[in-house]
Amino acid sequence: MTTLAPMATQVGNTTLNIVIFGLFVVVTLAIVIRVSRQNQTAADYYAGGRAFSGRQNGIAITGDYLSAASFLGIAGAIAVNGYDGFLYSIGFLVAWLVALLLVAELLRNTGRFTMADVLSFRLRQRPVRTAAAVSTLAVSAFYLLAQMAGAGGLVALLLGITDRTGQSLVIAVVGALMIVYVLIGGMKGTTWVQIIKASLLIIGAIVITVMVGVKYGFNLSGLFDDAIKNSGGSDKILQPGLQYKNPIDFISLSIALVLGTAGLPHVLMRFYTVPTSKEARRSVVWAIWLIGLFYLLTLVLGYGAAALVGPDAIKAAPGKQNSAAPLLAYHLGGEILLGVISAVAFATILAVVAGLTITASASFAHDIYAHVIKKGEIDADSEVRVARRTAVVIGIVAIIGGIFANGQNIAFLVALAFAVAASANLPTILYSLFWKNFTTRGALWSMYGGLIASLTLIIFSPVVSGKPVDKATGVSASMIQGVDFHWFPLDNPGLISVPLAFFLGWLGSVTSKNEVNDAKFAEMEVRSLTGAGAEKAALKH
């Protein structure tokens, strides 16, 4: 199996990879232009006219959620660290039950376009909207950076571009394409890109899984045998503990994962693209089945890569861990299958970045510009104009940020986004949906407290500084080399910042004087549970 190692440095046929990706861009762009001819109103731009079915939206959510980090990252984590990669994927799936049971339907019925619509429904508009927008922008920025940073590594791996200038150019092209999708397609176009991408991704994963399965007579235990052989003969890859050495650290990460998903603004915004809360429920049901199926396939992909490519060859490849799935595709299906998987990986980045850009631009235009600066005295057309301009600015910032973040640890940036979402967003979402006596002060303390706590703890954690220097490579696993200012012992802040945000939300509410607005509270409660007065779908064109 070690004979594969030299090939790993120049996998497949670069021209073919580019051609297949180009084909994806042409086809999706044509579809985006077609579906977006009637893209006029704010509801069209932000919420795709609320005309998607639950199934369509469920597939699109899957596309949004299975970002490059989880598609390439988890397969690679399983290939190299075995069981711990699998353990990690389970948190991402179970998290959807929070969205299904507590958030999706009520949010769909209550809000219009953004998370802030729900949070500010019965509290003081301007401060709460501002806080919600700040945290939306923060979470989206970290997530965006993670995707763009991942693009650099992917380019190195799949197009054979190893110098930074070349990689930066490709990042700029990906960013520019994304801006085009968002400007032309709005939410409607972006949703279709997600649907196509998710379908390709799942089909690709099924194909590879079946090929691995055929090789091993669909015997999982036999596959594990080879994976063990290729991992130095140790069956440690079947046990927990290779990647997560510190139990408290993993528990902290689990809290952030399981509570973060239902607080990710770009996921929440997708619930507004369906006409009713029943369809929002269907969306989550579809998303859970598809995401769950995908993670099950990833288990085979990961161990398959360990068995057929080998952890050493994977670690030696340009994209390191992230190259596990592409290398496996190359081993099984040659250049063509690798080309397809590469195109899907690029499409993943493109689609996820587009979704994030819409969310961030909506939050700025709808929450900050229209409601805080203009105090709601603005027509929908100008609001959408502002949103489009914001999308361009965010796109440019994402390109520049992506060029600078190129090579940064993607998993760290994604974990950061989840930790901030779980701390700053979820407690306030739950309080405002379920607790009558929640107040503006409670919301502000919880959101700003959760945001500041999670950011501070991350800055002073070992991820940023102070991890021991690896003797083999001579570098520390921390972000900043050569200094050590960490005092927080855990990699992920969730264990502290999430309970703290819940506590602050309670404390802020019980210490402020009662501000329950009975009329608004009645409207919110009745609306959230029955759908009476909820935003309707646009007429189908």
Partner 1 sequence: MAQDIDEARTQRYIEVQQSAEFGELRAKFRRFVFPMTALFLAWYFLYVVLATYAPSFMATKVLGNITIGLILGLLQFASTFAITMIYARWADRELDPAAAKLAEHMEGGSLS
State the residues that interact with partner 1 by CB under 8 A: 83, 86-87, 90-91, 93-94, 96-98, 100-102, 105, 220-222, 224-225, 228, 235, 238-241, 244, 247, 250-251, 254, 258, 278, 281-282, 284-285, 288-289, 292, 295-296, 434, 518-519, 521-523, 525-527, 529-533
Nearest approach, Cβ of 434 to partner 1 (angstroms)? Answer: 8
Nearest approach, Cβ of 216 to partner 1 (angstroms)? Answer: 12
Q: Is 317 left (phi over 0), alpha (psi -120 to 50) or beta?
A: beta
Q: Between residues 288 and 308, which has the closer beta carbon with respect to partner 1?
A: 288
Number of H helices and number of E strands within the chain?
Answer: 23, 0
Nearest approach, Cβ of 250 to partner 1 (angstroms)? Answer: 5
Q: Between residues 171 and 433, which has the closer beta carbon with respect to partner 1?
A: 433
Nearest approach, Cβ of 526 to partner 1 (angstroms)? Answer: 5
Q: What share of the chain is helix, strand, coil (3-state, %, to 5)?
A: 75, 0, 25
Nearest approach, Cβ of 1 to partner 1 (angstroms)? Answer: 18
Cα 351 to Cα 64, 121, 180, 198, 270: the distances in Å are: 7, 30, 12, 10, 13
Contact 519, 461 (CB under 8 A): no
Q: Could you tell me which of 479, 363, 476 has the C-alpha nearest to residue 416? A: 479
C-alpha to C-alpha distance for 438 and 440, rounded to whole angstroms: 7
Nearest approach, Cβ of 480 to partner 1 (angstroms)? Answer: 28
Calculate ∠ Cα 199-203-204, nearest 5°: 115
Nearest approach, Cβ of 108 to partner 1 (angstroms)? Answer: 13
Nearest approach, Cβ of 476 to partner 1 (angstroms)? Answer: 24
Q: Between residues 24 and 224, which has the closer beta carbon with respect to partner 1?
A: 224
Q: Between residues 260 and 326, which has the closer beta carbon with respect to partner 1?
A: 260
HEC letters along 299-351: HHHHHHHHHHCCHHHHHHCCCHHHHHHHHHHHHHHHHHHHHHHHHHHHHHHHH
Q: Between residues 16 and 94, which has the closer beta carbon with respect to partner 1?
A: 94
Q: Which residues does 282 contact at the CB level (< 8 Å), separation at least 6?
A: 53, 54, 55, 57, 58, 274
* SS3 call for 118: helix
Q: Between residues 220 and 373, which has the closer beta carbon with respect to partner 1?
A: 220
C-alpha to C-alpha distance for 40 and 51, rounded to whole angstroms: 14
Q: Between residues 95 and 179, which has the closer beta carbon with respect to partner 1?
A: 95
- Residues belonging to the chain: 541
Q: Could you tell me which of 152, 178, 166, 149 has the C-alpha nearest to residue 361? A: 178
Q: Between residues 258 and 365, which has the closer beta carbon with respect to partner 1?
A: 258
Q: Between residues 472 and 519, which has the closer beta carbon with respect to partner 1?
A: 519
Contact 317, 8 (CB under 8 A): yes
Q: Which residues does 326 contact at the CB level (< 8 Å), separation at least 6?
A: 11, 72, 157, 158, 319, 338, 341, 342, 345
Q: Could you tell me which of 495, 498, 422 has the C-alpha nearest to residue 252? A: 495
C-alpha to C-alpha distance for 70 and 88, rounded to whole angstroms: 10
Nearest approach, Cβ of 248 to partner 1 (angstroms)? Answer: 8
Q: Between residues 87 and 344, which has the closer beta carbon with respect to partner 1?
A: 87
Q: Between residues 225 and 484, which has the closer beta carbon with respect to partner 1?
A: 225
Nearest approach, Cβ of 370 to partner 1 (angstroms)? Answer: 20
Nearest approach, Cβ of 410 to partner 1 (angstroms)? Answer: 23
